[in-house]
Every structure is written in structure tokens, then in C-alpha cells.
Structure 1
């Protein structure tokens, strides 16, 4: 076991936003437990890669246990893993429902439950921050995505509930509601059209998301916040 002052657990950490978050937390001096369904071992001894599908029962607990086995504590969790399936509501299949709710809800629930339980035993507080979408509050006819709203809307509500439930135990709970971010999820040929969905006229960059999460990490008086990083999309168009 390596003693370290602070440890962050990040899901969906193998590419895109998750990969950026790993680098961001390392720059802050955190050790990182990086989870994805498939993830390569890191050359950095302060980054522990733990492969596993958080939609499967028990995986969340296994990742938290791995954090304690390697680093001896856990201070922050970033629920970054998510599935986004844009479809007309009547076109969603049972398989779509199982896949999206499995990661977006069960994954959030199991990782956060195991992490908060560990933070309570630890006794010195902690932080849970989750990646959501601005579509929860600002539905868009060009991007039909009711399953995203169903699941991430639940995450937003739970974010506030956990903030209030554990405020006096020093555990904060926040979320970052995103617009469209330049990640492997989107085809480069679609960027111009996607940029038009944001009042600022561009899509977001991974650094925009990392900056927002790290702001929340350092903002000790902020809890229960749904921070919109969406180029003004939630304000109107």
C-alpha cells in the first residue's frame, strides 16, 4: 500500500473526458483509480487501472476496494462513465433501456454507494461529482434522447439529495451538466452542425469539462450544485 494525501476514483477513464480527468487530478497531486470496461495499465505508479463494467452488480464495490488496497483511502469520485443513445422515444429497445440504465443509474448508484460508505468510515469527508447533460432541463427536438433525460435527470436529483443527506458529514455532492463536447462519441464531420446548438457557437472541449470538475473539487463551500458547462445551451437559444 502506498500512502498518499488524496485519492480520486474516475469511471469511464480510458478515453475522452475520463482520460482528461485522470490527467487533471494527477496535476492536482491526487493518486487516481481509473476504471473502464477495458483499460490498460498505466506507467504512472500513482494511477491504478481497474477494468470492469460498472453496470454489473458488485463492480462498484470492487473498484472502491481496489482503491483502498492500493492507496489506503478515497477522497473523491467522478462518475464520468455514461451511455448516450439519441433515438425517438418509441424506437428505444429493451436492450437500449438495459444498457443505458445499467451504466447511467446502476453504475452511478453502486460506485457512489460504495464510495460514500468508505468515506464515512474514513471520517474526514469526501466529494462525489457526476457528469450529466443539459438536455435534462433543455430538451431539444433535434436531439431526441429521453433515456438520457430519464437517467441523468435521476442523477441530478440524487446529487442534490446526497448533498443534503451528507453535508454535516463533510461529504459534498455535485454534478456537471454538459452540452456537446469534442470526444470520440461524435464524428468530426458533425462538429459544425453540433456547434450551432450552443449559443456561443462552438462545441465544448475536454479541458472545459476538466476545468469545471476541478473547480468543484476545490470549491469547498459548493455542494448540491448542477454546474452547466454547455455554451449557454440551458439558458436558451
Structure 2
């Protein structure tokens, strides 16, 4: 096992998730990366990397990920809850299927894997950390790019982060949220780049530019 501990990264097959996984590997961590098609991720084979296919919104998939982390690397020390989907449209155009998809991946996915990760951290008795990837636009709305329903979910993650940080502070389990602005990932492959740059300004970026990521 890598000396720096074991990290679970959800949504680890594309965009931000790929960069997060690779960054941890480069720093000597053992990593369990999960996504619906994690086995198709662009990583070089490594004894410190386990790839687990599955839909993190399903409790059984989250359980499988936790079991791989423990059986292969012996611990769960950190969780990066990156898995998420985005559907942007005017509020009145959202349908129930949109709402269910957004809440199942963005909220239920966090709920299932965070419970398992925290339970294992408590068993280990040496603390740990949970990081949620939320969104800067939770606090910076733009009428030209309506996205109220996905922001329901990202805002809920922000609230959960504060509540859980207080609940588990005495056990030295840290909870933090990272709220990116516009990141040029495959999720935005069909969005005009000039338009995306205008959203950076709305998000309050001091230097209005997109972060580029393969």
C-alpha cells in the first residue's frame, strides 16, 4: 500500500476526475477510481490504481467501491466526491426525469459513498477527509445560462459539507467543498467556447478564463 493512504475518486474517468486521480497517483497515494466506464479511463496500469465500473447513485455500486479499497489497499483515508451530471435549461422546461437524474447522481451518489467512507475512517481511528466538487454558480446565477435544478443539488452538497464538518470534527474527519467555475471538459464539448468564457465573468472570476482539461 502507498504510504500516503487510499483515496476514492468518484467520476474518475473524465475531465476533472481524471486530473484528480492522476494527481493523487503522482503523489504516491493508492487510488480507487470509479465511474460508469472507469475501465475505459486513460490511465497507465499501476499497482496503486484500481478501477471500478458502476453507477455511484446505486448503493450496491458504492459498496463495491468501498470493498475494493479495503481489500486491495487496506483502508479508506480520503474521498473525492467528484461524480456529477449537469443539465442546463430554463426552470419550466425541466421534467421529472431531469430532476431524478440530477438528484440520483449528484446527491444520492454522495450519500452512499460518503457513508461508507466515513464509517471506515471511524473504524481506522486516524481521521480522514471528504471533498465534494460543487459549483461556483451556486452563488453566482446568470439569466443567460439558467441551471436552477443542478444548482439545487450542488447547493445541497455545500450545506451537507458544513453540517458534516461540524459533526465529525472531533474525529478529525475533514469535510470541504471545491466549487470550480467553468472548466473545459468533455461535459462542455458541445458548448461554444466564447460563450463559456462569458460565464467565467458571471462566476466572479478575477481572471476570466476557462480552466482547460482533457
Pair 205,193 (structure 1): closer, same or farther in 2 beyond 3 Å: same
1:159-170 aligned at under 5 Å gives the runs 159-170=161-172
Aligned-residue CA RMSD (Å): 1.6
In structure 2, the partner of 1:123 is: 125
- Partner SS, residue 184 of structure 2: coil
Partner Cα distance (1:187, 1:118) in 2:
37
Q: What displacement does 1:4 show?
A: 4.5
Aligned-partner SS, 2:179: strand
Secondary structure in 2 matching 1:49: strand
Distance 1:188 1:97, change over 3 A: closer
What is the total number of aligned residue pairs between the two structures?
A: 206
Unpaired segments ≥5 residues, structure 2: 202-206
CA distance in 1, matches of 2:120, 2:173: 11
Q: Which residue matches 1:202?
A: 209
CA contact (8 A) 2:58 2:112 kept: no
Partners in 1 of 2:171 and 2:133 — Cα distance?
Answer: 23
- Hey, what does 2:38 align to over in structure 1? 39
Tell me the residue number matched to 2:16. Answer: 17
TM-score (norm 1): 0.83
Superposed counterparts of 1:26-175, under 5 Å: 26-40=25-39, 43-175=45-177
| In 2: Cα distance, 1:5 partner to 1:190 partner | 40
* Residue of structure 2 in register with 1:233 after alignment: none
CA distance in 2, matches of 1:17, 1:60: 20
Mapped partners of 1:140, 1:43: distance in 2: 42
SS state at 2:188 partner = coil
| Preserved CA contact (<8 Å) 2:2 2:28 | no
Q: Please, what TM-score do these two structures have when normalized by structure 2? A: 0.91
Other-structure match for 1:223? none
Runs of 4+ in 1 over 3 A off after TM superposition: 2-5
Instruction: Find the counterpart in structure 2 of residue 178 from structure 1.
Output: 180
Indicate the SS of the match to 1:173: strand
Q: Which runs of 5+ in 1 are unaligned?
A: 208-237
Q: Distance in 1 between matches of 2:45 and 2:211?
A: 29
Give the SS at the match of 1:196.
Answer: helix
Q: Aligned partners of 1:62, 1:29: CA distance in 2, in Å?
A: 23
